[in-house]
Amino acid sequence: MSDEQIIIHRARVDQLRTKPAADKPLGFGRYFSDHFFATEFNRGNGWHLTRIEPMRLLQIDPAAICLHYGQEVFEGLKAYAGKNGELYLFRWQKNAERLQRSCSRLMMESVSTEFFGRAIKSLVLVDRDWVPRAPGATLYIRPTLIATDPYLGVRPGDEYAFYVIVGPVGNYYPAGFQPVSIWVSDHDVRAVKGGLGEAKTAANYAHSLCAQNKATKLGFAQVLWLDAIEHRFVEEVGTMNVFFRFKNGDVVTPPLAGTILPGVTRDSVLQILRRWGITAHERPISIHEVLESAQSGELVEAFGTGTAAVISPIGLFSYRDKPITIGDRRVGELSQRLYTYLTRYQWGEEEDVFGWRERIDGLDLEVLAHP
C-alpha cells in the first residue's frame, strides 16, 4: 500500500489560517496548520483516497466504531527547524512501528512504515512555514488512526481512517528547566498486565483523568503510577517514562513488561547513557526503594522522559501524604546533560552518531507524493 499516491490539494488564500502571534506563548496542542493528511481503508480497496487537503472538520458517522468502542490509536513526534532553515525528524520509524503495534493490539488495520514516513514528511513540507523557529519550539505531529464503519456491536472495524495533523508548540520550559512535584497514586492505576498499557490509545488517557485530577487539586503536576497488582512497583509518571539515578552513578528505569508505554525518548536515553558509559538497568523498582533511597541520599535524581517535555526533572514525590524530596529539588546533573544533548541532537547541533536524524527540507514533495 505504500505506493499509494498522495494527492495534494493546497488551501486557497482565503482558506489559510491565522498563525499564532509571535509575542504570545505557543503552549502545547492549541494551534493547527493549514493542511492535514488523510487516507481511508476498506476491505475492497485497501488504503485509498490518500490526500493532503486544507484543514477542515471531519465527517464521521455517529455510529462509527471508534466513537463507541474505542478503536483509536495515535502517535506524537516533532519536526525541528535548524538554524539555517534545515528541517529534521527524529526517529520517526519508531513511531511508525509503535503505531503498528498499537493497531495490532486493538485489532485495527495499520499503515506501513514507508507510507507513514511519506505521510508525515509531505505534510510537514506542505506546511513548512508553520514550523516555529523560536528556541525550543517545534512542529508537533499527531498521526491518528480510527475505525470509521457505522456499526453498533463489539467487533473490529472494517473501515478505517488514518490522518495526520500538525501544529506549532512552544518550548516546554519557557521559564527554564524546573523540577516538578509528583503525587504517587496509591489507588488508581494506569494499566494492568494483559491490558492496553503498551498501546498509545485514547482509553489510557481517559482512564488517567481521575487520578490526574486528584493530583492537580492537591497541587501536584503529575501522577506517579504504580503497578496494578501490588501497588508497589513504579511504572510511569503522567504520560512519561521514568528514570532514577543513584549515587553510585547507576540509572534505573522500569522494564517494558506490558503495562508501560515504550517511549522513543526512553529508548534514546537508554542508548545515550550506555554510549556515555553509564550503567542503565531496566529492572522493577518499588516505591519503597525510591522513598528509602531518597531519604538515605542514595537516590540523587529522578526524571520523566517523553517527546513533549524531552526530560522532566522530578523534585518531590508525595506518597500517602508524605512528601519526599529528591536531590534538594534542584535540576539534577544527568537530567540537565541529557536534556541539553538530546535537544541539541534533535535540532541538528550534535553529530548524528546513532543515525536518528533525518533532514527533510531538501526532499522533493513530488517524489514523496508519487513514489
Ligand X SMILES: *Cc1c(COP(=O)(O)O)cnc(C)c1O
Interface residues with ligand X (CB under 6 A)? 76, 200, 236, 239-241, 261, 263-266, 305-307
Contact (Cβ atoms closer than 8 angstroms) between residue 100 and residue 117: no
CA distances from 269 to 57, 88, 318 (A): 38, 19, 26
Q: Whole-angstrom Cα distance, residue 66 to residue 68?
A: 6
In whole angstroms, the minimum distance from the beta carbon of 259 to ligand X comes to 10
Q: Whole-angstrom Cα distance, residue 74 to residue 202?
A: 8
Burial 283-293 (b: 16+ CB within 10 A, else e): eebebebbbeb
Query: Which is nearest to 6 in space by CA: 41, 46, 35, 49?
Result: 49
In whole angstroms, the minimum distance from the beta carbon of 77 to ligand X comes to 7
Comparing CB distances to ligand X, the nearer of 138 and 241 is 241
Comparing CB distances to ligand X, the nearer of 143 and 263 is 263
Comparing CB distances to ligand X, the nearer of 98 and 121 is 98
Comparing CB distances to ligand X, the nearer of 40 and 97 is 97
In whole angstroms, the minimum distance from the beta carbon of 117 to ligand X comes to 16
Comparing CB distances to ligand X, the nearer of 126 and 226 is 226
Comparing CB distances to ligand X, the nearer of 118 and 200 is 200
Q: Whole-angstrom Cα distance, residue 35 to residue 11?
A: 7
In whole angstroms, the minimum distance from the beta carbon of 191 to ligand X comes to 8
Cβ-Cβ contacts under 8 Å for 228 (sequence gap 6 or more) = 189, 190, 191, 192, 193, 195, 259
In whole angstroms, the minimum distance from the beta carbon of 263 to ligand X comes to 3
Q: Whole-angstrom Cα distance, residue 286 to residue 239?
A: 19
Comparing CB distances to ligand X, the nearer of 40 and 358 is 358
Comparing CB distances to ligand X, the nearer of 121 and 266 is 266
In whole angstroms, the minimum distance from the beta carbon of 342 to ligand X comes to 11
Grid cell, residue 274, equals 550506555
What is the distance in angstroms between the CA of the first residue and the CA of the last residue of the chain?
11
Cβ-Cβ contacts under 8 Å for 196 (sequence gap 6 or more) = 105, 106, 203, 204
Q: Whole-angstrom Cα distance, residue 245 to residue 273?
A: 11
Comparing CB distances to ligand X, the nearer of 263 and 313 is 263
